[in-house]
Amino acid sequence: MRALRALILALAFPTLGGASEEMSDGNSAGDLEGVEQMVVYGVRTGELDRVPGAATNLIFADDFVAEHKSLTDLLSETEGISVRRFGGAGDRSEISIRGSSASQVVITLDGARANSLLTGGFDLSRICLPLLERVEITRGAGTTAEGSGAVGGVVNIVTRGAIDGPETRLAFSGGSFETFEGSLVHSDTIGEIDFTVGYCGFETEGDFEFSRPTEIIAGVPATFAHPTAIRLNNDRVQHGGTFGLHFPLGSGEVGVSNYTVYSSGGEPGIDSGNGASAGQALEARSRDLSTLNQLGWTGSSPMGVEGDFQAAFYHRFESSSFRNPIVTFRPPIDVEVHLSTFGARLEDTWDGNILDQAHQTDINVDFAHDRLSSTEQSPRERPRLGAALSEALTLFDERLVLSAGVRVDWTQGFGVQGLPSFGVVVSPFPWVRIRAQAGRAYRAPNFDELFHPDEGFIRGNADLLPEDAWNFGAGLEVRFARIGILSKIDLRAGWFRREIDESILWVLVNADTIAPINTGSATTDGFELSAAFNLIRLLRISANHTETQSRRDLTGKRLSGQPSHETSARVQLGHQEAWKLIGEVQRVGVIFVDEGGGRRLPARTIWNASAAVNLAEMPWLPFKGVPTDLWLFVEIDNITDKAVRDVRSFPQPGRHLTGGLEVVW
């Protein structure tokens, strides 16, 4: 009975549970000799981290040290996000947020737009995770800040900056299919100048064995004559580098940055044939170079009020080439494309009070001029201009935040668009947060959709209309320090809905030709769930689940390319700073190859595992202090050697092993 009363008191008054826990962990047992002791696990609330907006979450790269993660991996394991991989390491991968296409997600690098002018998408494999500090993910309602393209959301990739004192990071790994990666990042402060410089290199033969696809066509499995094949002409070399410099100027700070990546390799294409080569292109090669330069100044607002002012200018250049001397029923292909964007952005933030309540006004204006030149088509240019006003009012000691904004966006050829957005964040307690948002979005067609040259089997469509959408979303976040034997508990749940008109899809417009058309209206809705907790001090368990239903409004048919559900789970045993054993599983549902699911890719479950130890934390080894960290790790992916495809004719590798080290000093 006394134990029952103690439990009731602990649940009713969380601090009692905390006090009991502290007593059980202390060294006061001797003081209580002869007294009956009870360990009481109650409920103790926590405190949620501050977030940048009503629909934004953060991922920090250092949370996954010595795990050989890529940006693609981190995003694919996040609720609400799906990633389409077009092969193995070094091959193209694209993001989808809440059922969007890749061109409906804006990717920014340190705040500057990085999406391809040609396709509208972004290749995640061109970003090296050791060069990054964090990733900021905004689901839905991102057009107030970014304008055209942010139908699904916005992902801002933030590169590493200087910290207090010098720091150097070195990483190297090698693994299956003759795959090697290495990176080196150094940051320091000299006088009043902070700088960071980094390099990341990658090389692979990519010659993995894969299973030929088994599709379900009208309920009947369809297979190839040979059940397996080798991925041929899949080698790739990639080099990436980043540079950042900050120094004071006047009342503010100047920032200069550069991110450059070069990639070259084979392009095996689709595995569509029945022969020994599985129909792969054995001589096709590609090469691309992209660079993003920024110059900015940050300081106090010139309006004489409390707040910040930012002015930034950027230039992005992309050059790519593709050559295939052997093409069936066509002349050889030799194409070069050059893309460039020059842009500028001004942002002024005013902090003030209205009736003793915190109030913030944000005004930004941005301009960009896009240019395309290609051996395939005539040169193209397109200017873009946007201006946005956002207001945020904080009430009741930050328990309620109301926000609203509107953006006026102009893209040459598509007129002026007004893009309103609304958001609310309710935090009745430090451990509970409710978020909701709504906003209009649109996307102007990209150069490829408009102007792809007529090659007989594929062409563009200059008469396309912009995609027009409304996004709605709501979510709940809860954090507990302890519930019974569980500690550090984070729970999240969210609902979303997108209503889009004039969707743009590439479809067969006649018996022989593919072209983009506006296919009318479609609706996507679903929900996201996430949970993480410590079962014991050294054992953390996390999982998330996303359900997405996308359908054409006219026919009610489910759209292609996206799984209806994805589930990820992770178990980590160990001390985050010293050692860890990790097991992961990801379940991906059936992917429709065509609308309605006449053809589909089967569901799959993938298991991964890794182990890492930090020798610098081992007291019996002579590494304490210098270096700060010395991690050794080994990782095995796709343990059960499952056949994996996100896209019908682009296989991914089966079981593969990687080992390496990461050093910080």
How would you class 47 by CB atoms within 10 Å of its CB: exposed for 0-12, middle for 13-18, buried for 19 or more?
exposed
Longest pairwise C-alpha distance within the chain: 93
Q: Are 275 and 239 in contact (CB under 8 A)?
A: no
Predicted pLDDT of residue 600: 85
Q: Are 20 and 44 in contact (CB under 8 A)?
A: no
**C-beta neighbour count of 473 within 10 angstroms:** 24
**Distance (Å, rounded) from C-alpha 289 to C-alpha 489?**
44
C-alpha gyration radius of the chain = 26
How would you class 290 by CB atoms within 10 Å of its CB: exposed for 0-12, middle for 13-18, buried for 19 or more?
buried
**Distance (Å, rounded) from C-alpha 510 to C-alpha 343?**
40
Name the strand (E) or helix (H) holding 72.
Answer: helix 71-76
Catalogue the long-range contacts made by 82-87 (C-beta closer than 8 Å, 24 or more residues apart): 82/546, 82/548, 82/562, 82/563, 82/566, 83/124, 83/646, 84/561, 84/646, 84/647, 85/646, 85/647, 85/650, 85/652, 86/646, 86/647, 86/650, 87/206, 87/231, 87/234, 87/650, 87/651, 87/652
Cis peptide before 248 (omega within 30 of 0): no
User: Could you read off the pLDDT of 206-252 as tens digits, one per residue?
Assistant: 999 998 876 666 677 777 878 889 999 999 999 999 999 999 998 89
CA-closest candidate to residue 647, choices 560, 520, 587, 525? 560
CA-closest candidate to residue 100, choices 87, 83, 117, 76? 83
Region class of 4: left (phi > 0), else alpha (psi between -120 and 50), else beta: alpha
The Cα-based distances of 624 to 323, 566, 575, 665 in angstroms read: 52, 42, 16, 11
CB neighbour list of residue 581: distance below 8 Å, 6 or more residues apart: 572, 573, 574, 609, 610, 611
Instruction: Give per-10-residue mean pLDDT for the chain (665 aa).
Output: 41 39 42 56 73 71 94 94 93 94 94 90 94 91 84 94 85 97 95 94 96 72 82 97 94 95 94 84 94 95 86 96 87 92 95 88 95 90 95 92 94 94 94 94 92 80 94 94 94 95 83 83 95 94 96 90 94 94 97 83 95 91 80 97 90 96 95
Q: Are 315 and 301 in contact (CB under 8 A)?
A: no
Predicted pLDDT of residue 142: 75
Identify the bridge partners of residue 629 per DSSP, sorted by sequence position.
Answer: 664
What b/e sequence results for 420-455 when a residue is b if at least 16 CB atoms lie within 10 Å of its CB, and e otherwise?
ebbbbbebeeebbbebbbbbbbbbbbbbbbbbbeee
Helix, strand, coil percentages, rounded to 5, for the chain: 10, 55, 35
Q: How far is CA 33 from the centre of its chain?
A: 55
Predicted pLDDT of residue 61: 94
**Distance (Å, rounded) from C-alpha 157 to C-alpha 109?**
5
Note the helical H segments in 391-493: 447-451
**Distance (Å, rounded) from C-alpha 358 to C-alpha 588?**
44
For the residues of 547-589, what is the DSSP string, one character each? Answer: EEEEEETTT-PBPSSSBSEEEEEEEEEEETTTEEEEEEEEEE-
CA-closest candidate to residue 452, choices 516, 512, 501? 516
What b/e sequence results for 131-145 when a residue is b if at least 16 CB atoms lie within 10 Å of its CB, and e otherwise?
bbeebbbbbbbbbbb
State which amino acid sits at residue 505.
Answer: L
Torsions phi, psi for 395 (to 5 deg): -125, 155
Predicted pLDDT of residue 622: 77
CB neighbour list of residue 297: distance below 8 Å, 6 or more residues apart: 249, 252, 253, 254, 255, 310, 311, 312
**Distance (Å, rounded) from C-alpha 215 to C-alpha 236?**
29
For the chain, domain boundaries? 2-451+467-501+521-664
For residue 352 the two structure tokens come to 């003030």
DSSP state of 376: S
Torsions phi, psi for 90 (to 5 deg): 90, -15
Could you tell me the pTM of the whole model? Answer: 0.90
Assign a CATH topology to domain 2-451+467-501+521-664. Answer: Maltoporin; Chain A (2.40.170)
Strands 105-109 and 153-159, how do they pair?
parallel
End-to-end Cα separation, the chain, in angstroms: 56
Q: How many residues does the chain have?
A: 665
SS3 of residue 212 by DSSP: coil
Q: Are 105 and 84 in contact (CB under 8 A)?
A: no
Torsions phi, psi for 406 (to 5 deg): -145, 140
